[in-house]
Every structure is written in structure tokens, then in C-alpha cells.
Structure 1
Amino acid sequence: MRVVCLHGLGGTGATMWPIVGHLSSAHHTAFAPTLPGHGGVPDDLICVGFDQWLGAARDWPADVAVGQSMGAILALALAAEGRVRAAVAINPLAPDPDAVDGLEWRQSRGTTTIEVGPSPLGEVAYEQLPIEALLAMHTGLLSLDLTRVRVPVLVVTSANDDVVDPACSDVVASSLAGRVERLRLAASGHVASLDVERDLLGHAIVDFVASLDPTA
């Protein structure tokens, strides 16, 4: 099968390479594009919005979409549009109007960037994010109707996620209209694709893809 693997805000396609490796070893065609505004400098994210990120994801025809963090939102958006037969959502954010309000409040008081610091896992990622990009991500999520996702979805939750509340996975899973499988990573943080349970995650994704009905 063709599988597109989508990284989170501030990252690059390299974040998803371990998952691509597992899928390729299982004879799937997997690819991990770097989304618009990423892979350069943080200011490249200014004036790039959710529509551009989703448009880039659409440019890679796939049977299955795998996404992490913001990439999970994009994967679910592809599923809601009927563009994929299944999706994997790793540490997805849940719709949160308060997050938008909070970011807009900080922006109104002159905040232009949010410091996220270097990755403890060596991820190639921005160490600060323009507040415009965070707003674009959260407002894009608010526009997504999760009840339109009727294909099978594997929702993955890192127990030690200090970026996205693990409870967000419960909100997302309960909103989906199709079959939902769950995986809890007891020792992993937000960037699960690079963390200590990355092989467990990769094998679980391969098993999930293998479980799909090839005639569906």
C-alpha cells in the first residue's frame, strides 16, 4: 500500500523516517514529505497556513495516512475527505477554542514567537515557532469535522507527552465515526516516532495496515 507519513509543526519529514523504514520493510510504498514552511528557518512558517499544509498532504496520493501531532490532524483531515482508506493519529491534538483565544491574547500583547527549545531526541526541528503558525494549526483543527472520519483509525497515545495532553487522544477517538484501535506507549514522549518505543510503534502501524481489507 501507499502510505504518507506527516510530521508535526516545526519538524521535517525526517521525524517520520523510522516509521517509513518499518513500512518499507513490510513492502509498502511509504514517503514522508516535508511540509511547506518547514526545513528552513522559523520565519518560513509566517503566512503559511493550514490549507497549504493540507494541500501538500493531498499532493501525495496514499491509501493510508500516518500523522504525528499536527500531522495527525492532517491525516484525519484526509480521512474525513475520503482520500485514504485508513489513518494513524499519533498524539493528536483535540479541538480547543481556548487555545486559539490564548494565542490571540498573547499575540495582541506583542508576542510573536513561542520558544520550544531543542529536541531531546535530536529531532531536526525549529526551536521557536511563530505564533501565526500555532494559530493556523489550531484554527485548522477547529474546522475539522471528526465525525466525518468513517475509515479505520489507529490512535496512538504517549503516556509521557509534555506537549499535547494525552487526554486529547480520548477526545479524538470518541469523535470518530469508524473503527478505532488504540495504542498506549508507556515510556514515550511527544515525538514518539523517534523515542524509545519507536520500534513498537512501527510494528503496530505495520500490523494495523496489514489488518485492512484489501478489497475495501
Structure 2
Amino acid sequence: MLLDAEPFSASGGQHGALVIHGFTGSPQSMKPLATAFADAGFTVELPLLPGHGTTPQDMAATRWADWSATVEAAYADLDKRCERVVVAGLSMGGSLTAWLGQRHPDIAALIAVNPLIDPHAPIWQALIDAGKAADGDFLEAVGSDIALEGVTESAYDAVPVAPLLDLTRPLEEIADALPRITSPSLLFVSAQDHVVDPSSAQAWAERTSGEVEVVELAESFHVATLDHDRERINAGAVEFARAHLTEAGQAGRRHS
């Protein structure tokens, strides 16, 4: 298993937080945020997505259906144990966050860091084109896009082509269904991102039906949860979640 790639869980109070890592990555990239939620008293689940955290060869046999089923099950488990749940994701974890938000309007808040939404954006489309043209089963790695010196993401050193190409249809469906998101959203967007175009977060912000707050990260690259702005993300995410959980509780008391 990759270094620090194990899933993370924490028992807490009545509010839950589901935290989701990205494509070819591992829970290591989201552990600081998961820990911030745990320290704030949340019950937290940070699952390891199927095929991740071990070898690219393991991931080559997995698809979106496997990853989405994992987060759906994790959400259902948290929803049973907690009064309200917030969901937070990085990159493809942001795609999964949006997907859950479209399916579960009762999610208290959605938080995404450089979410992957737009399958036709230039950077992502170039990767897809490279996958289609590839002679073999793997491409060069896309992980560890971090500005902070000395920090490395625990991610694969290669991209499996088959699951990469499988992402196109789910992303198109998520992009088309953005208006179905009614939960409040907090989007963290890096000014310099070499993996996901800012058009993804822009599409989310412009087309969702819920309240949206966008925070630009001037100093961080794609894996901002491990980068210069990590503490800003941790504090902002917890504050946003708490605010909307409080609002939901007050609304419930008004209508009880």
C-alpha cells in the first residue's frame, strides 16, 4: 500500500462528514481536512476508493461505478448514524461530491476543492486525448501537483487509461445535472491548477440551484489540501459546514 493511504474514520457527535480523495490519489491528500472535521467534533469517514492506494495495475480494473458505489455506501452509513451530513471532495472526489449532492438534496453542505466537472475543458481533454492515443495501458502521472516544496501526494506514478476514459460519460451526466444541486456549496479554486481547469468550478458555481461561495487559492496548485492554503481550506470548510448545520437545525425547530 502507498504511504499513508489507509482510510480514516473518527467517532464524533451528531453531525457527520464524508471526505473523498481524488483520481489516482489516496486518503492521504484529504486526511488534514478529515482530521479538522474530527477535531471539530464531527463523525468522519474518509474511504479508500477501490483500486487506489496500492498499484496502478489494481486501479486499471476499476471504474466510476466502483468508486460511486463506495461513496454512496459511506454516505448511507453516515446518514444512519448522524442527524445531518456534509460531503467534501478533492478533484474527482469533487465530482463524487457533486454526484452525491444531485442524488441527496438533504446533504447539509457540499465542499469541493478544485472539483473535476467539465469533461471538455482543455487540460482534461488533452489527458483524454492522450489516453485514446496511448500505445499501452498507462500514461504519465497527474498526481502531486503541489506548489509547497518538500510536500508530496501519496498517489500513483502512472494513470491507468481504461478508468480514465471511463470517466467521460459520468462527468457529462454530472455536468448536465448541476441544476439538481440544491445544497449550499463551498468551492475552493486554485489560481494555478495543472490538472483541472477552473471552468469546472465555474460551471458548478453558475449552474447549481443552491447557494455557492467560491474561494480563490492564490498560492496553491491542484492538491491544495496539502499545499500552502491547506489551513485556510480546513478552517473554511469546518466553518461553512457548522454554519449550514446550524441554519438547518434552526429551520427544523421553526417548522417543528
* SS of residue in 1 equivalent to 2:167: helix
Select the residue among 112, 117, 121 that pairs with 1:89.
112
Match of 1:182 in 2: 214
Check the 8 A contact 1:100/1:138 in 2, yes or no.
no
Alignment of 1:1-216 (within 5 A): 1-61=15-75, 62=78, 63-82=85-104, 84-97=107-120, 103=128, 106-107=131-132, 110-116=135-141, 119=144, 121-144=151-174, 145-212=177-244, 213-215=247-249
> How far has the Cα of 1:107 moved from its partner?
2.6
How far, CA to CA, are the matches of 1:9 and 1:211 in structure 2? 29
Change (3 A) 1:118 1:173: closer
Give the alignment's TM-score, normalised by structure 2.
0.78
- Number of positions where the alignment pairs a residue of Structure 1 with one of Structure 2: 216
**What SS does the aligned partner of 1:60 have?**
helix
Give the aligned residue type for 1:96.
P
CA separation in 2, counterparts of 1:138 and 1:191? 21
* CA deviation after TM superposition for structure 1 residue 41, in Å: 0.5
SS in 2 for 1:211: helix
CA distance in 2, matches of 1:173, 1:117: 25
- CA shift at 1:84, angstroms? 2.3
Cα distance in structure 1, aligned partners of 2:70 and 2:141:
24
- CA distance, structure 2, for counterparts of residue 118 and residue 92 of structure 1: 14
Decide which structure has the larger Cα Rg and report it.
Answer: 2
Q: Offset at 1:50?
A: 0.9
- Give the % identical residues: 29
**Which residue in 1 is equivalent to 2:6?**
none
- Give 1:172's aligned amino acid: W
Output the CA distance in 2 between the equivalents of 1:51 and 1:19: 25
Once the two structures are TM-superposed, the CA of residue 59 in structure 1 deviates from its matched residue by: 1.4
Q: What CA distance in whole angstroms lies between the structure 2 residues aligned with 1:97 and 1:69? A: 15
**Corresponding residue of 2:81:** none
